[in-house]
């Protein structure tokens, strides 16, 4: 049985974050590249076609101290999007979900989830038009 001070979800989250930090230290790709390669490790990583790390719902929930049901609800509401599914039909999320969930948690202090969805959609549209080829962006804004 756990010590009474170790029963709460804060302890479990803290312990999980410590495990994640330990994994990151052992698998520090940029640090390893910097040791063996004279170039900037971020430039080398950008040129490499590395497999993308995908996270299960439970990993993301533990990282943020949320429940799996909350992550599921955010997905069905369109606040976050799954990247792929396993053969067992479990959702997998890419690394961008961490920034989105952080943004959601900060906005949640002052806004409803429907308002947050509108804010995220607006930001996504702005990003899409910022990275669109110049011809497409000009055609969308041209009213003539």
What CA–CA distance (Å, rounded) separates 13 from 17?
Answer: 6
Residue 6 has pLDDT above 50, yes or no: no
Q: What is the DSSP-derived secondary structure letter of residue 51?
A: P
The average pLDDT across 8-13 equals 52
In this structure, is the dihedral angle defined by the CA atoms of residues 80, 85, 91 and 93, taken in order, positive or negative? negative
Under the banding of pLDDT at 50, 70 and 90, the label for residue 3 is very low
Long-range contacts of 71-79 (CB under 8 A, 24+ apart): 74/101, 74/104, 77/113, 77/117, 78/117, 78/121, 79/104, 79/113, 79/116, 79/117, 79/120
84-140 per-position pLDDT tens digit: 998 999 999 998 899 899 999 999 999 999 999 999 899 888 888 887 766 555 555
Q: Which residues pair with 93 in a beta bridge?
A: 55
pLDDT digits (tens, 9 = 90+) for 21-65: 555 555 555 555 455 555 555 565 566 666 678 999 999 999 999
Q: How far is CA 142 from the centre of its chain?
A: 35
Domains of the chain: 7-50 (no CATH), 52-144 (1.10.1660.10)
- Please tell me the predicted confidence (pLDDT) of residue 37: 52
């Amino acid at each position: 049985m756990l010590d009474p001070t170790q029963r709460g979800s804060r302890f479990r989250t803290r312990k999980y974050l410590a495990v994640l930090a330990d994994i990151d230290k052992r698998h520090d790709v940029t640090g390893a590249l910097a040791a063996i390669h004279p170039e900037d490790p971020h430039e080398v990583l950008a040129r490499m076609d590395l497999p993308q790390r995908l996270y299960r719902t439970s990993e993301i929930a533990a990282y943020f101290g949320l429940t799996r049901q909350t992550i599921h609800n955010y997905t069905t509401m369109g606040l976050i999007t799954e990247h792929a599914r396993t053969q067992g039909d479990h959702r997998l999320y890419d690394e961008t979900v961490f920034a989105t969930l952080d943004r959601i948690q900060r906005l949640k202090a002052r806004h409803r989830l429907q308002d947050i969805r509108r804010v995220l959609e607006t930001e996504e549209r702005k990003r899409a038009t910022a990275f669109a080829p110049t011809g497409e962006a000009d055609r969308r804004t041209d009213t003539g």
